[in-house]
Structure 1
Amino acid sequence: MANPNIDLNEWFEKAQEQFRGLNPNEPGQWPLLPKIVAFIAAAGLVVFFGWYLLLSSQADELQAERDKEVQLKNDYRGKVVQAVNLGELRKQLIQVGEYVKQLEKQLPGKAEMAALLSDINQAGLGRGLDFDLFRPGQVDVKEYYAELPIAIRVTGRYHDIGAFTGDIANLSRIVTLHNLNIASASGKDNTGALYMEATARTYRYLDPTEIEAARAEKNKSKKAGGK
């Protein structure tokens, strides 16, 4: 059986003929081929704009959820590591708490400051030093502790002054010496006398009432600075 011969030029000519003279106001009167092409084009536009308006926003949401998944996985891995080391972390927390308690024991309370000042004075007298000046200054209240500077000036022999500074360092309470100035003492009968000027700083912990007052004052300063 012989295949029918198809004249492609004639077919294209007939197809082009259907697109000639089309009235855009009456698409219902168009031939079959222009109707099919117009339907395919309209369907393509609907699909394109539907994807652009609807699916593109969903694609952004999907990408955001994928990014969140990566973050959640990283958080999960971090928490797994913490869970594995939880026992060790608890031991470290206990050790830190004990260390803080030891430091707190080295800080006197408000009622113990007078005894601490007496200890500093006795440390100098015990080394045979003469106090030319022993003047506590203004208390500087921090967030969790208070600092008291004491201006001192003692006169004595070099080794006695050195021993006095060692005694200060070995006190059960924390006392630090700042701005040391040592020079020859003029007007003294004994040869080799020196004087030492320094600022001794002692520290004490705040009771709960003082801590709340310090925080309130800090917040008040912040608000005033913000205005």
Structure 2
Amino acid sequence: MATNKNANVDVNSVFLDLSGQFRGLNMNEPGQWPWLPKLAAFAALATGLVIVGWFVLLSSTADELEAERAREPGLKQDYRAKLAQAVNLGELRKQKIQVQEYVTQLEKQLPGKAEMDALLSDINQAGLGRGLQFELFRPGQVAVKDYYAELPITIRVSGRYHDMGSFAADVANLSRIVTLHNLNISGNAVAGVGAGNLTMDALARTYRYLDPNEVEAQRKSKEAAAKEAAAKAGAKK
């Protein structure tokens, strides 16, 4: 029985000694604390850091998960579109070949620089062949587009109505593309030779393809214009 009493006294004294280490602690000087309060404070701080880090990591993971969920509908739609293309790949390739052939055929109808003079001569001969009198045949300023150049031609011819119609049909049937715009037909009020004939004013437009040097120059011009616009926009900001 004495042994049990001695054991109880030892445990109580140890407990009192340990609890006594937490009394009278100076919060401004934790370095002076006994070892047990230091160990308890370190454990509490480490636990707090682990808990905070866990919540921060969990929060960022939740944000990433939400972002991926927001991307899901778009990815599904993209997948369906690509799946449809994959299923119809053979047909799409056939259509691509057909489009390329059609574009090549159209390009052949566009003259190059060297052929423009011959085309202008063909338009003139189409009118003369129908007995029309050219009063005006004036090529205008060439307008350069992305992949082709457009040449407007102001024309005025006089002659009979049916001959004018035949001339318009002949122009439409030329091997090169020529279009007529702003047609205006008026009567000839002058008496004598040619009385009763009509006068037709029109704007003919013909087109030619750009050679590689012109395409490259057009590309560089667009890039320079885009850089200049971007620089101006940046300066305004």
With normalisation by structure 1, the TM-score equals 0.74
3-state SS in 1 of match to 2:118? helix
Q: Are residue 199 (structure 1) and residue 203 (structure 2) matched? A: yes
Q: How does 1:105-120 map to 2 (within 5 A)?
A: 105-120=108-123
Q: Which residue does 1:11 correspond to in 2?
A: none
3-state SS in 2 of match to 1:135? strand
Q: How does 1:177-188 map to 2 (within 5 A)?
A: 177-188=180-191
- Unmatched runs of 5 consecutive residues or more in structure 2: 1-21, 26-43, 233-237
- Unmatched runs of 5 consecutive residues or more in structure 1: 1-24, 29-41
- By how many angstroms is 1:109 displaced? 1.0
Amino acid at match of 2:216: E
- Count of aligned residue pairs for this structure pair: 191
Q: Which residue does 1:82 correspond to in 2?
A: 85
Q: Percent identity?
A: 68
Q: Distance in 1 between matches of 2:159 and 2:207?
A: 27
- By how many angstroms is 1:93 displaced? 0.3
Q: Are residue 222 (structure 1) and residue 226 (structure 2) matched? A: yes
Amino acid at match of 2:178: V
Q: Distance in 1 between matches of 2:23 and 2:204?
A: 103
3-state SS in 2 of match to 1:119? helix
- By how many angstroms is 1:200 displaced? 0.6
- By how many angstroms is 1:26 displaced? 4.2
Q: Are residue 136 (structure 1) and residue 139 (structure 2) matched? A: yes
Q: How does 1:1-227 map to 2 (within 5 A)?
A: 26=23, 46=48, 49=52, 51-189=54-192, 190-226=194-230, 227=232
- By how many angstroms is 1:177 displaced? 0.9
- By how many angstroms is 1:79 displaced? 2.1
Q: Over residues 103-160 of structure 1, what are the superposed CA-to-partner deviations in whole Å (9 max), with x where a residue is unaligned?
A: 1011111111111101100100011000001111111111100111111100001111
- Alignment CA distance shift 1:66-1:177 (3 Å): same
- By how many angstroms is 1:172 displaced? 1.1
Q: Distance in 2 between matches of 1:159 and 1:106?
A: 27
- Alignment CA distance shift 1:206-1:59 (3 Å): same
Q: Which residue does 2:15 correspond to in 1?
A: none
Q: Distance in 2 between matches of 1:86 and 1:27?
A: 83
Q: Over residues 154-182 of structure 1, what are the superposed CA-to-partner deviations in whole Å (9 max), with x where a residue is unaligned?
A: 00011111111111111111101111111
Q: Distance in 2 between matches of 1:27 and 1:93?
A: 88
Q: Determine if contact 2:178/2:207 at 8 Å carries over to the other structure.
A: yes
Amino acid at match of 2:63: D
Which stretch shows the higher mean deviation, 189-198 or 137-146? 189-198
Amino acid at match of 2:106: L
Q: Distance in 2 between matches of 1:67 and 1:212?
A: 42
